[in-house]
A and B are shown apart, each in its own frame.
Chain A
Amino acid sequence: MKEIMDDIDRWRRFGHKVALARVVDIEGSGPRLPGASMAVAETGEVAGSVSGGCVEGAVVSEALDILSTGERRLVTFGYSDDEAFAVGLTCGGTIHLFIEPLDW
């Protein structure tokens, strides 16, 4: 979290809306532990990571969607998911992310 705070501060100084995605749970093998986080500005700029790079692209589109609707939600990526082939983790695990606007 610490490593993405400078970027978040900068975006917020410019008045950009920011979404925060945090790993809240992992099943099986996962590259990052709960608490790993990634921030996405409404401009599409990104800081931090939540996996070894496998799902970051999908997280960005979820985050942008959440910024436009304002609806926070729990999102799951992994092989148990129907979308596994689209955004599966190469390590074979499942990660649960909570994505929300940074409005708190």
Chain B
Amino acid sequence: MPDSIYELWRKAVNDHRPVALATIIEGENLGAKLIVGDGIDSQGTLGDLDLDRVVVRDTIGELAGGRSGIRHYGPHGEAREDAVSIFIESFAPPPHMLIFGAVDFTGALVKIAKVMGYRVTVCDAREVFATKRRFPNADEVVVDWPHRHLEKVGDRLGQRDAVCVLTHDHKFDVPAIQAALATDVGYLGAMGSRRTCEERLERLAQAGADMEQVSARLHAPIGLDLGGRTPEETAIAICAEVIATRTGRVSSSLSDTTGSIH
């Protein structure tokens, strides 16, 4: 027997695969359902083939944006009519935060990012520092050069994801930032003092980075200007900037101001 729609939904949610469910909540065939998702050809029907076709298309769009909400249609999927109301519920897997550099601040950032619901990867080329024992809360600890790791996973990064470069070592962070700029990642930040950040910009320019992209996307020094000092406070300043970047709200970031960091 093929899986029921609920069973397909349950398995996808448990496996963290994107999936969306469309249900008629007003109109004929109340409760009729369609499901679409990664690895699922659309299944189920709303009782009309034309309506199915339109709703599958719209549901794929809502899923890509991670949105849930009600849409209205005519009986055969006509736009600007409201014979049927359909609730589209998207399940998007958790956003991903990649932290480069297994430094003092990393453990605190892993903790705060986990509280915010991120899947967290810590990556550092130095085997002695990048250990699961030092970062027990991380979902994944990878020993590799950051830019090489990005070459492997970069095409999976999107607007909801974040890359935080905490290495403050030009040898690692210049190629890491260049590789991150080649992805669609929504947030990119790099740690360092004002002087480190100035030097890094020079090195990025020397390395041939697109400096217009750098100034539009790179948050350095990383974090909002909250005035904190401890690793935990710094982690909160970083996560707050990640939120503000996603929401497009104006908050004073260290990269927008010129005074002392602490």
Interface centre among A72, A74, A98 (most CB of B within 10 A): A98
Q: In the bound complex, do residue A34 and residue B31 qualify as a contact, i.e. CB atoms below 8 Å apart? A: no
CA distance A89 to B10 in the complex (A): 30
CA distance A73 to B6 in the complex (A): 18
Q: In the bound complex, do residue A24 and residue B25 qualify as a contact, i.e. CB atoms below 8 Å apart? A: yes
Q: In the bound complex, do residue A104 and residue B30 qualify as a contact, i.e. CB atoms below 8 Å apart? A: no
Residue from A5, A22, A25, A33 within 8 A of B13 (CB atoms): A5
How many chain A residues touch B (CB < 8 A): the figure is: 17
Give the number of residue pairs across the A-B interface with Cβ within 8 Å: 45
Q: In the bound complex, do residue B70 and residue A1 qualify as a contact, i.e. CB atoms below 8 Å apart? A: no
Q: In the bound complex, do residue B89 and residue A35 qualify as a contact, i.e. CB atoms below 8 Å apart? A: yes
Q: In the bound complex, do residue A98 and residue B68 qualify as a contact, i.e. CB atoms below 8 Å apart? A: no
A100 within 8 A of B: yes
What range describes how many residues of B lie at the interface?
A: 20 to 34
Which residues 53-104 of A have a CB within 8 angstroms of B? 72-74, 98, 100, 102, 104
Q: In the bound complex, do residue B25 and residue A98 qualify as a contact, i.e. CB atoms below 8 Å apart? A: yes
Contacts of B147 in A (CB 8 A): none
Contacts of A33 in B (CB 8 A): 68
Given known contacts A5-B10, A35-B68, is B31 in contact with A104 (CB within 8 Å)?
Answer: yes
Residue from B26, B89, B91 within 8 A of A74 (CB atoms): B26
CA distance A33 to B67 in the complex (A): 10
